[in-house]
Amino acid sequence: MPTLLPLVATLCCLFILQRCFQIRKILRTIHYQPCDWTFFSLSGLGGRFPRIPFILPGRHYNWRKHQDFKALGSDIFVAAALAPTVSLNYQLADPDAIKEVIGSRVRFPKPIELYKPILFFGDNVVASEHDQWKRHRKISAPAFTEPNNKLVWHETIHVINDLFDNVWGNRDEIAVDHIREVFMPTTLFVISAAAFGRRITWNDEVLPPPGSPNDLQVSHDYLYKLILPNWAMGLTQRLRQSNVAFDELERYMVEMIRDRKNQTSDDVEPKYDLLNGLLDACEGDLSGDSKLTERELLGNIFVFLLAVQPEGNEVDKHYPLNCDDGSLGSQIPKSTGHTLCFAFALLALYPQEQERLYEEIITIFPDGRLPTYEDANSLVFANAILNETLRMFPPVPGIPKYSAEDTVLPMTNSFGEKVLVPVPKGSNIILQTAGLHYNPKYWPDPHTFKPSRFLGNWPRDAFLPFSGGVRSCLGRRFAELESIVTLTMFISKYRVGIKDEPQFAGETFEQKKERVLDTIPRLTLTPVRIPLVFKRR
């Protein structure tokens, strides 16, 4: 009907006009900070589809490293969207701004609604804020003691020796299709022993059959197998399908706690695993209200083993942290395991760095003895390799926060001047770890693996793999020690290289590097496929 046309046109004009006013208002509020505009935000549709300029932001900025910051000419930009509601998402790759955010938990809290899926076993240290978080942190932190670090060291050696002696045997050459096959189990075994006092060996049949079609799913399955007693084995299928199964899992965990409580009273040998640390802190002489209830204890234990991973839908809401494997995942062992995968891929690609590590090892252990806990600080180059791996492949590439008040963030602009960026109350803030780690202002030639950059003076504020401030990673030392001793054990015995495969025979170094280091940007960074070969030295 022709009479309707002017009406529709008027409405459209009004709509566009209103949005333009809205945009102008936003630009004024944020003092014309560089913006990446899209009509839709990441909520709902936005995070599900690829990027469409001006319409959908696409999956995430997380794994674009420093690209977007470079394109917009600023180490802070705002991903702004008009629908369904106006949302401002501050993306940070500036060390001063990031330091300010991690330095004030009260002004920049964690958006804990994103962590809801990991609350079903009770409140915990990862998914809480304010007074609740303080209680949890106070109970959890003391579990990460020096004796526990020592336990991590010894259990890692135990697990690797078990692999060398009982699985790899005296073969001179071991080829693996994807190094995850090695480092997912090792990290799980280590956490099982150092967190729960449960030793698992390589021949316990908890491993996925080689070449499993979907090893991501399988890795969840065998994780459950680790903590579940035999009678509950049938559970793994159902765990994914129904909430009822989680009740059973919960019952088992309660039993594990009660068992342990019963044991400690008459056990002569003290135990230093994390579970005991938590139990001690709960039973210690804390004032009544800071004690954790059994359910809260369970929540914290669950977090150590299973989950720091919110489910896809929740995460899509405001943050570009979208993950594809919707099921709950074991982020803690995964973050350590994947770091090791990338570290060995890099050593295989850069043999001269590998030789330098080998030289460090034979200098410290000329007699070939096992590394002791006291050696940890002498293994400086191994530590530098770990740091350089974490710089290039930060397992948590985006850390979400929000602004609890109208405030400002300090930053260095493209002219090298210090300026203040206004941030309105309620804005989402994402610490772009990868953006920071590839920022060429602080890391020259950021795409090249150069562990030696960590040997001299390095920009400490431009390195954030474990987050920082009071909410930094509790398991940093745990992960570092495990990684350092793993690097040392493998490289002292084997030379690692990229597995030769006929289909890739004609590749250049750059092509090989790109293929081997390819990632799936899930909530934590996941390697696609790293085929390696280990040759005995």
Ligand X SMILES: *[C@@H]1O[C@H](CO)[C@@H](O)[C@H](O)[C@H]1NC(C)=O
The Cα–Cα gap between 482 and 187 comes to 8
The Cα–Cα gap between 23 and 8 comes to 23
**Residue among 98, 151, 473, 496 that touches ligand HEM (CB under 6 A):** 473
SS3 of residue 518 by DSSP: coil
Specify the DSSP class assigned to residue 437: H
**Residue among 214, 237, 262, 452 that touches ligand X (CB under 6 A):** 262
Cβ nearer to ligand HEM, comparing 216 with 341:
341
| Prior bond of 84 cis (ω within 30°) | yes
156 is a site residue for ligand HEM (CB under 6 A): no
Tell me which of ligand HEM, ligand X, none is bound by residue 258, counting a contact when its beta carbon lies within the kind-specific cut-off of 5 to 8 angstroms. Answer: ligand X
**Tokens in use for 317?**
């809401």
**Residue among 93, 384, 462, 487 that touches ligand X (CB under 6 A):** 384
380 is a site residue for ligand X (CB under 6 A): yes
304 is a site residue for ligand HEM (CB under 6 A): yes
* DSSP, residue by residue, 457-517: ---GGG--TT--GGGS-TTHHHHHHHHHHHHHHHHHHEEEEEPP-GGGTT--HHHHHHHHT
Shortest Å distance, C-beta 397 to ligand X? 16
Distances (CA, A) of 323 to 61, 275, 526: 13, 29, 11
257 is a site residue for ligand HEM (CB under 6 A): no
Shortest Å distance, C-beta 282 to ligand HEM? 16
Cβ nearer to ligand HEM, comparing 227 with 232:
227
* DSSP, residue by residue, 131-165: HHHHHHHHHHGGGS-HHHHHHHHHHHHHHHHHHII
Residue 437: what residue type?
A: H
479 is a site residue for ligand HEM (CB under 6 A): yes
Tell me which of ligand HEM, ligand X, none is bound by residue 315, counting a contact when its beta carbon lies within the kind-specific cut-off of 5 to 8 angstroms. Answer: none
Residue 35 counted as an annotated binding residue: no
126 is a site residue for ligand HEM (CB under 6 A): yes
Tell me which of ligand X, ligand HEM, none is bound by residue 479, counting a contact when its beta carbon lies within the kind-specific cut-off of 5 to 8 angstroms. Answer: ligand HEM
Helical axes 215-227 vs 294-305, angle rounded to 10°: 140
**In terms of Cα–Cα distance, which of 111, 36, 29, 114 is closest to 407?**
29
Residue nearest to ligand X (CB): 454
> Which residues are near ligand X by CB under 6 A?
258, 262, 380, 383-384, 387, 454, 466
Residues tagged in the binding site annotation: 473
Q: Which residues bind ligand HEM (CB under 6 A)?
A: 110, 125-126, 137, 304, 332, 335-336, 339, 395-396, 399, 465-467, 471, 473-475, 478-479
